[in-house]
Amino acid sequence: MFKKKWASAAALVVLGGSLLSACSEQKPQVEVAEQAPVAQPVLKASVEPIPKGKFANPLFANGADPWLEYWDGNYYLTTTTWTSQLVMRKAPTLDGLATAEPVNVWSDDELSRCCNFWAFEFHRLNGPNGWRWYLMYTSGQHGTLDYQHLSVLESVADDPMGPYEYKGEMMPDSWNIDGSYLEHNGQLYLLWSEWVGDEQLNWISKMTTPWSIEGPRVILTRPEEEWEKSGRKVNEGAEILKRDGRTFLIYSASFCDTPDYKLAMKELTGDDPMNPDHWTKYPEPVFQRGNGVYGPGHNGFFTSPDGTEDWIVYHGNSKETDGCSSTRSVRAQKFTWNEDGTPNFGEPVPEGELLDLPSGENGPLATKLQGAHMQLVSGEQCLVVEAEGLQAASCDASASKWVFDPTADGYYRFGHLESGHFLGQQTGQLTIRPWENLDTQRWQLVSSDAGNGLYRFKNRQTGEWLSKPGCSAESCNEWRLQPVDGIAIASVQSGRVLQACDASGNVDQGSWKNQRCQTWSFTSVDAGFYHLKRNEQCLTVEAETIVPGTNVALGDCDTSYAQWRLAPDAMGNYALVNRESQHVLNLDACALGDGANISQTQAFDIPCQAFQLRHIPSAVLTD
């Protein structure tokens, strides 16, 4: 990423083209169509199709400072955006991240921290509110890089997609970047990088919460060797790697604008992480350029779905002349361990070389998926998993809840919430079994010709429709997606949620604050239309008009202008379509900040009209 020494006006002029290119990342689009399109693959270096079970680096372009976690059946990935938005991708397979929808899960318009978002990391920690994801990132002010500093968000529950609540800035009055966490003997520590004179150093401090520090701030690493001083004297991007009771600190060394950006390593060989003497530095780089890959660094670590393999994710360049811009692309590869217990990262894998996907992606995997809870409703009955198999039964059954999960290739999977198994189809029979990454477990979404919010689901393998068990009528192929339990409606543009929190009942967007006025219940009217309710009032179009731009607010439920249908696309987003006007909910001016108004307007392929549904546990809500 760009560092403080590039923050001058002259440097910004030089880098203007790169910055403009980086900030023009394509935003996700919603498709309100009769049939959702299949996602197009990202082009690789080779035009030859990649065999099933293989992938090749890079995963995708413009992917600096990657952070990747595998959690509850999906990979989650963030990369630097240089914008005011924080983008997350998710997919059940590593290569699926290349085609996964980039969703903005957080944005900011606060002038002191609004801009130049860098180096997002999200860690699952047992914080003051229980197990949560803590998302740390670097941001600063518009027009300069001199005020970059760290901020932390906290997830509402166990979903890395959020929604997130802003918690704080650890050191808002100084330049500090590349934050990460170290947990050691029950104490949480903050790791970060900042400049002192002509050196950029890695630092450590104790934390009282995942968003606040206390006590002394200690220098942990500094560029001492010549191989750490290529271009400039830089240490940054400190990451923790643990194994068999040992703690390794892997960090990036040398200037990111050179091809010699690389990884270095220290090991905690004493008991006190705050004591520099308790860390032992290894004399040589542990990962550096090779095989046509330049500047490999700013890494993270993850394990394969079955836990048997260790992987490194990092960014690298394809040319020696590329530097700290949008040329950096996401790469991942498996690494091993030496006989002495230290990690062996090897060399960067050449671009286009076929690699095996992480072990366990093909299961069998029973897992709880994160996401909005849904029922699959046909007529007045739900698809339910019972002891004898899949049945059409009462929607009151506890086993009627599913997670409708995009697979990042234009299809969906249905994960059963109670069993952790997945809906499939074989020779005309429905199956429920652990995830095996099969086409029989993938379903294509096809909307009803009547545009009534009902959908059909075609099995990718068999080409047959998902049909209500025990029913052969044509109508038994049509289903309503019924959101249940607490639901937040999050903007794909801003990451903020739709809310009706003031006395007027107006609907706008706001950052998540654990308030009941930020959640909605979907009450079925008929076919696939719903009332979106808050306190017995419904989301409705004011003045009952079809005019684009008309405001929406809470109001009377007894009108067709208070009825909405869900229009999902192929990648996990939803448009909300009014029954009477046929217009969609729209985030006015595509604004990022709190209080931006919501109205109705014509449907366009823009993220300002795309939303995602999030599950909100009732226990976290306050009045």
25 CB contacts (<8 Å, ≥6 apart)?
62, 81, 83, 87, 102
Kindly state the tokens that stand for 349: 């894998």
- Measure CA 474 to chain center: 38
User: Rounded to 5, what percent of the chain is helix, strand, coil?
Assistant: 10, 45, 45
CA-derived radius of gyration, the chain = 25
Beta partners for residue 506, in sequence order? 553
CA distance 566 to 585: 11
Alpha carbons 73 and 77: distance in angstroms, whole number: 13
Among 154, 169, 194, 236, which one carries the catalytic annotation?
236
Q: Please confirm, yes or no, whether 65 is among the known catalytic residues.
A: yes
In 3D space, the residue among 195, 245, 227, 377 whose CA is nearest the CA of residue 297 turns out to be 227
85 phi/psi in degrees, rounded to 5: -130, 145
DSSP 231: S
Beta bridge partners of 455: 447, 479
H/E/C letters for each residue in 133-170? EEEEEEEECCCCCCCCEEEEEEECCCCCCCCEEEEECC
CB-based contact 500:488 (threshold 8 Å): no
302 and 313 Cβ atoms separated by less than 8 Å: yes
Cis amide leading into 58 (omega within 30)? yes
Q: Report d(CA 153, CA 264) in Å as an integer.
A: 29
- The residues near 520 (Cβ < 8 Å, ≥ 6 apart) are 487, 488, 489, 498, 532, 533, 534, 539
Q: CB–CB of 58/351 below 8 Å? A: yes
Residue 477 exposed, middle or buried by CB count within 10 Å (0-12, 13-18, 19+)? buried
Contact predicate 46/55, CB 8 Å: no
Does 339 participate in catalysis according to the annotation?
no
First to last CA, the chain: 42
Number of neighbours of residue 353 by Cβ within 10 angstroms: 14
| Residue type for position 432 | I
Which 3-state string (H, E, C) describes 359-386?
CCCCCCECCCCCCCEEEEEECCEEEEEE
Q: Are 561 and 600 in contact (CB under 8 A)?
A: no
Q: Which of 65, 95, 169, 351 is catalytic?
A: 65
Instruction: Please choose, from the candidates 103, 110, 52, the residue with its C-alpha nearest in 3D space to the C-alpha of residue 592.
Output: 110
CB contact at 8 A, 357 and 53: yes
Catalytic residues: 65, 236
